[in-house]
Amino acid sequence: MGNTFGHLFRITTFGESHGKGVGVIVDGCPPQLALSEDDIQPELDRRRPGQSKIVTPRKEADRVEILSGTFEGKTLGTPIAMVVHNQDQRSEAYTEMATKFRPSHADYTYQEKYGHRAWPGGGRTSARETIGRVAAGAVAKKLLKERFGVEILSYVQQVQKLIAQVNPDKVKLKEVEANIMRCPDAAMAEKMIKLVERVRKQGNSVGGLIGCVARGVPVGWGDPVFDRLEADLAKAMLSLPASKGFDIGSGFDGVTLTGLDHNDEFRSRRGKVRTTTNRSGGVQGGISNGEAIYFRVAFKPTATVLVEQDTIDINHKNTKLKARGRHDPCVLPRAVPMVEAMTALVLIDHALRHQAQCGG
């Protein structure tokens, strides 16, 4: 069902926000990849709550445990099960939300669809579900880097109306991780942080854009017509909590150009084909063209705000709700590793599919 993602490299996530734990099962990882918890933990540390003053203060160590799929420090080619145990649940903060729906949250739709939901912490709709994705993505990133030479990097590009100046071809990890906003434009990052702090004190929230670049992707990944590489990337990104939009390359800005302006002209030098520009974002006809893949993901403001709003209860009666609990005033800093993880999961799946079909 909807909890499994991928074809040859498949993941299934499990767990709820205030349950005993959350995790993932990875099936299809090739054998003999050196892998331990130390390879997974740094990515979860980037995603975990309580890491700075502009994210939710929930205190979770998010220590991962590999339960199966490895032996003597290497993958076996069998399913890899990973789990993170929840420790800092405060379900009492959600008691009122058991019967009242947060505006623009999944409370209402889950209740209407299933007739029963895990309301503490948002249950399965919580961003805590992404722990499994990030853990699986760490495996995929390691495999992509070591066996295919592919590197993935995401960063905060925009918060509300504040836009950073970032060159996706040159941005570096140390620049992204240099501040708590994970924005490589240091001057703009400070403005973004101040904005988020101000909004947090108001009990409100803001959204923005995350940029992502994948370097080193060879020509040929992607399976048209329905499994185009950009289509699978779009599905992966729009499956993330709070995501609302996706564009690749020139994206929506490309509609203002003519074909002559937009086309990426080809050049061949010593048998190596390159394009002089990259408005295609590294994908043409649903297949990677050898250039860097870059795209953007839009995230809405967090639905849970600490200001009273009109809503309805489970009996569809009009009421009011002022949410409580610990919530991100802006999801972007913690969403950066989530975007990287989902990108890695798409790319490794297509890499393995390309090998199986074309032998390359």
Strand partners, 336: none
Residue 90: its pLDDT value, please? 63
Residue bearing tokens 């949410």: 323
Q: For residue 42, give both structure tokens.
A: 């740094």
What is the count of structural domains for the chain? 1
Q: pLDDT by residue (tens digit) across 310-338?
A: 999 999 999 999 987 777 899 999 999 99
Please tell me the distance from the alpha carbon of residue 322 to that of residue 309, in angstroms, as a whole number: 6
Residue 353: its pLDDT value, please? 98
Residue 93: its pLDDT value, please? 64
Please tell me the distance from the alpha carbon of residue 353 to that of residue 338, in angstroms, as a whole number: 23
Q: What is the DSSP letter of 21?
A: E
Residue type, 143: L
Residue 129's Cα: distance from chain center in Å?
A: 11
Please tell me the distance from the alpha carbon of residue 216 to that of residue 145, in angstroms, as a whole number: 9
Whose CA is closest to 157, among 357, 311, 335, 17? 335
How far apart, in Å, are the Cα atoms of 141 and each of 5, 132, 325?
16, 14, 33
Residue 196: its pLDDT value, please? 97
Residue 7: its pLDDT value, please? 97
Residue 58: its pLDDT value, please? 65
Whose CA is closest to 227, among 185, 266, 285, 150? 285
Residue 36: give its domain's CATH number. 3.60.150.10
- Would the CA dihedral through 20, 48, 155, 193 be positive or negative? positive
pTM of the model: 0.96
Close Cβ partners of 99 (under 8 Å, ≥ 6 residues apart): 313, 314
Please tell me the distance from the alpha carbon of residue 186 to that of residue 183, in angstroms, as a whole number: 7
Q: DSSP characters for 271-330? A: TEEEES--TTTTEETTEEBSSPEEEEEEEPPPS--SS-EEEEBTT--EEEE---S---S-
Q: Which domain holds residue 28?
A: 4-358
Residues of the chain where predicted confidence (pLDDT) is lower than 50: none
